[in-house]
A and B are shown apart, each in its own frame.
Chain A
């Protein structure tokens, strides 16, 4: 990034490296978003041209390694041919895109099925036109955090990445910890839901929480930052609800468990780029968005490990005056009443530790009960009806 600035000055922002001709093709010449281009000029130079054996590629940070790097034989010649072929293909896609756009403009009053078909085709073409662009590949491979999520091609690659690792891990934890079906019946995952507690200063607790982790109570003492990354099929006015429930709240009279609500958000507006729910934002403007203030799970002594299940729902319409009982919460009924569709979930676990009592005091809760550590064989309260 720093070296780039120098080069910018020397070449005045014009990409004229080497002899071979991306200058003439659709990928370099066309007026397109800067997010599709490679930011680092030096890396761009090495990607498009031969890497000189003595100098080495700009991506290797260690200098002695960089100077001793050798490219495979004939890779540049082959790359040139491959690039030209793919660029021609992309040009065809762009021509078709222009055609479709013209058709859509002209025939806006034409029948809706044709228009929707054309729009679908446009969506796939927008991905196809850029999916083989080496600059796009480089950006998504090495800077996945900073790519522009408003572009469908990056979203497609991010979705693929999510489905390769993060999604299977989340689904495994949700199933093995019986979040499904103890809270919601099942989940058709659409969004990548990540959770972090930003106040933690310990390196092992800072950063995104792996689903299913056992967290100490002090690590969850203030409301979480939640990231909901959607990949397809939403508009700018999409609204989301977030529920944090504990299905393991002891129900002593029934000798069983009940579900309690610990955090309730609704009417959260999110899109592809603005995808994070930040606690400060909610604290300063809570109206009509926070229907249940955050109270961390504070398990009582010997009440065993409890699951904090965080569900993210897509709303059909804006909600107002939501009815709920936070002590005995029925998440299924709540979702049905308010027409909520689950798009993602997250789970972490907690148990009693020495930080629980302090937090109970801080949150104005009464002192927790203490259970005997031996589990008794008594059946459910109403077992014989």
Chain B
């Protein structure tokens, strides 16, 4: 349409020129390209976001005060400042704003808060940090007491349970202590007075407790001694015990301990026992092991034999708990190994199995086949039954 119009216009012009003869006219045609009503692509301007620093170098800021608003981390958060989810940097401590470069990240700008006017950032790498305490003392005594007794929800809810557990353990300790005093009176000829007996029993109980959490008897005994001496010393420094009294008591305690530890020791079950010398213990251990090895190994044991073996091994004086389990596993295994020949009955009538025989399938390694054999029921042992029968 436009072309046609233009064509028509041109024709007219040419005709006009022919008529006018020598007149030369230059015609420029500008068509409308801009819509008068405008378009939506041009409406993208928004108001400024008011970005930039809100506190400058050396300004005093309070905690929470905004130091910088930015898009992305134009400036990184340094010492004593935080950063928000829109990268707003704000003060965490009251102090003076410092913009600085960090030698560990030389391409970044940092802003931080120095706690003192005279300080510069970054703080030297090996210097101690300068920190603000910020908590106020409560001077009113009743307020202070109230605050001190304040509990977290967790602590409050746990309290009855903890109290119950404490009472329970106290009760048990008392029971054990009474039992120990009686044992020492009856079974051990220590020649101690009543108060000494109480001291010694208390000490023994503490040693037992430490022994049960894995320290050696000697270590535990030393620890209990040191705790006792320390408490006497502290009584002296508090003024409730004179120096002479303290020294006297320490000496008496050390003497008593020497005498007691020379004759009483702790066995594997945490009970008092006669102290054996190292060589004596060794020889008795060896004796038991020799008996076990010579008479009770590599053969099928009768029920009486099993009880004997169990009582030989279950000797808290000679063997620790760990050694006992190892030995029991060796000499009273749940099933005897196949290498014990007399536990296996080779030719067996599967139709008519005797009562004292179990039928099992064994893998023969040499031939790579599975064979069915009978095993004597005595080759199996149940530790719980044996232990029940041995008492």
Chain A bound to chain B? yes
Is A198 located at the chain interface by the 8 A CB criterion? Answer: yes
- Kindly provide the distance from the CB of A84 to the nearest chain B CB, expressed in whole angstroms: 30
Is B234 located at the chain interface by the 8 A CB criterion? Answer: yes
Whether the pair A301, B223 counts as a contact (CB closer than 8 A) is no
Is B262 located at the chain interface by the 8 A CB criterion? Answer: no
Q: Specify the chain B residue showing the minimal Cβ separation from A203.
A: B213
A residues in contact with B239, CB < 8 Å = 364
A residues in contact with B137, CB < 8 Å = 252, 369-372
Is B26 located at the chain interface by the 8 A CB criterion? Answer: no
Residues A178 and B117 in contact in the complex (CB < 8 Å), given A250-B135, A283-B229, A364-B237: no
Is B387 located at the chain interface by the 8 A CB criterion? Answer: no
Whether the pair A6, B289 counts as a contact (CB closer than 8 A) is yes
Whether the pair A54, B94 counts as a contact (CB closer than 8 A) is no
Whether the pair B132, A199 counts as a contact (CB closer than 8 A) is no
In the docked arrangement, what's the CA distance between A294 and B233, Å?
12
Residues A201 and B213 in contact in the complex (CB < 8 Å), given A64-B334, A256-B132: yes
- Kindly provide the distance from the CB of A185 to the nearest chain B CB, expressed in whole angstroms: 4
Q: Would you list which residues of chain A between 100 and 140 have a CB under 8 Å from chain B?
A: none
Whether the pair A181, B126 counts as a contact (CB closer than 8 A) is yes
Is B226 located at the chain interface by the 8 A CB criterion? Answer: yes
Is B329 located at the chain interface by the 8 A CB criterion? Answer: yes
In the docked arrangement, what's the CA distance between A55 and B338, Å?
10
Is B252 located at the chain interface by the 8 A CB criterion? Answer: no
Q: Of the 9-residue stretches A32-40, A318-326, A374-382, which lies at the interface with chain B?
A: A374-382
In the docked arrangement, what's the CA distance between A54 and B364, Å?
11
- Kindly provide the distance from the CB of A166 to the nearest chain B CB, expressed in whole angstroms: 19
Whether the pair A380, B225 counts as a contact (CB closer than 8 A) is no
A residues in contact with B337, CB < 8 Å = 54, 63, 67
Secondary structure dominating the interface of A: loop
A residues in contact with B248, CB < 8 Å = none
Is A9 located at the chain interface by the 8 A CB criterion? Answer: yes
In the docked arrangement, what's the CA distance between A375 and B229, Å?
42
Chain A CB count within 10 A is highest, among B148, B323, B327, for B148
Q: Specify the chain A residue showing the minimal Cβ separation from B144.
A: A370
A residues in contact with B327, CB < 8 Å = 2
Number of A-B contacts defined by CB within 8 Å = 173
B residues in contact with A379, CB < 8 Å = 93-95, 115, 132
Residues A280 and B286 in contact in the complex (CB < 8 Å), given A376-B136, A379-B94: no
Is B35 located at the chain interface by the 8 A CB criterion? Answer: no
Residues A251 and B133 in contact in the complex (CB < 8 Å), given A302-B147, A383-B94: yes
B residues in contact with A372, CB < 8 Å = 135-138, 147
Whether the pair B210, A2 counts as a contact (CB closer than 8 A) is no
Is B326 located at the chain interface by the 8 A CB criterion? Answer: yes
Residues A5 and B289 in contact in the complex (CB < 8 Å), given A63-B329, A380-B132: yes
Q: Specify the chain A residue showing the minimal Cβ separation from B332.
A: A63
Whether the pair B135, A371 counts as a contact (CB closer than 8 A) is yes
Residues A5 and B225 in contact in the complex (CB < 8 Å), given A181-B127, A202-B213: no
Is A328 located at the chain interface by the 8 A CB criterion? Answer: no
Chain A CB count within 10 A is highest, among B134, B144, B337, B339, for B134
Q: Specify the chain A residue showing the minimal Cβ separation from B126.
A: A185
Whether the pair A377, B213 counts as a contact (CB closer than 8 A) is no
In the docked arrangement, what's the CA distance between A358 and B330, Å?
51
Partner of A178, one of B129, B148, B286: B129
Q: Would you list which residues of chain B between 91 and 143 have a CB under 8 Å from chain A?
A: 93-96, 115-118, 125-138
Q: Specify the chain A residue showing the minimal Cβ separation from B130.
A: A256
Q: Would you list which residues of chain B between 214 and 250 have a CB under 8 Å from chain A?
A: 214-215, 219-220, 222-223, 225-227, 229-231, 233-234, 237-239
- Kindly provide the distance from the CB of B365 to the nearest chain A CB, expressed in whole angstroms: 7
A residues in contact with B326, CB < 8 Å = 61
Whether the pair A2, B289 counts as a contact (CB closer than 8 A) is yes
Whether the pair A377, B222 counts as a contact (CB closer than 8 A) is no
Q: Specify the chain A residue showing the minimal Cβ separation from B206.
A: A201
Is B321 located at the chain interface by the 8 A CB criterion? Answer: no
Whether the pair B289, A198 counts as a contact (CB closer than 8 A) is no
A residues in contact with B93, CB < 8 Å = 379
Contact with B along A212-231 (1 / 0, CB 8 A): 00000000001100000000
Whether the pair A377, B62 counts as a contact (CB closer than 8 A) is yes
Q: Would you list which residues of chain A between 291 and 337 have a CB under 8 Å from chain B?
A: 301-304
Q: Specify the chain A residue showing the minimal Cβ separation from B159.
A: A354
Residues A383 and B117 in contact in the complex (CB < 8 Å), given A55-B339, A64-B335, A278-B222: yes
Is B305 located at the chain interface by the 8 A CB criterion? Answer: no
Is A79 located at the chain interface by the 8 A CB criterion? Answer: no
Is A362 located at the chain interface by the 8 A CB criterion? Answer: yes
In the docked arrangement, what's the CA distance between A222 and B224, Å?
11
A residues in contact with B117, CB < 8 Å = 383-385
Q: Specify the chain B residue showing the minimal Cβ separation from A279.
A: B226
Which 5 residue pairs of A and B lie closest in terms of their CB atoms, listed nearest first? A185-B126, A280-B226, A371-B135, A379-B94, A370-B144
For the A-B complex with A181-B126, A222-B226 known, give 19 more contacts whose Cβ atoms are closer than 8 Å: A2-B319, A2-B323, A54-B338, A200-B213, A201-B213, A202-B213, A252-B137, A278-B222, A283-B233, A304-B135, A371-B135, A371-B138, A372-B135, A373-B135, A375-B134, A377-B63, A380-B95, A383-B95, A384-B116
A-B contact pairs, 13 of them (CB 8 A): A5-B282, A61-B326, A64-B333, A203-B213, A222-B227, A252-B137, A280-B222, A283-B233, A301-B147, A303-B135, A371-B136, A380-B130, A385-B118
Please give the residue numbers on chain B whose beta carbons come within 8 Å of chain A beta carbons, in ascending order. Answer: 62-63, 93-96, 115-118, 125-138, 144-145, 147-148, 150, 206, 209-210, 212-215, 219-220, 222-223, 225-227, 229-231, 233-234, 237-239, 282, 285-286, 289-290, 293, 319, 323, 326-327, 329-330, 333-335, 337-339, 365
Please give the residue numbers on chain A whose beta carbons come within 8 Å of chain B beta carbons, in ascending order. Answer: 2-3, 5-6, 9, 53-55, 61-64, 67, 178, 181-183, 185-186, 198-203, 206-207, 222-223, 247, 250-252, 255-257, 278-280, 283-284, 301-304, 362-364, 369-373, 375-380, 382-385
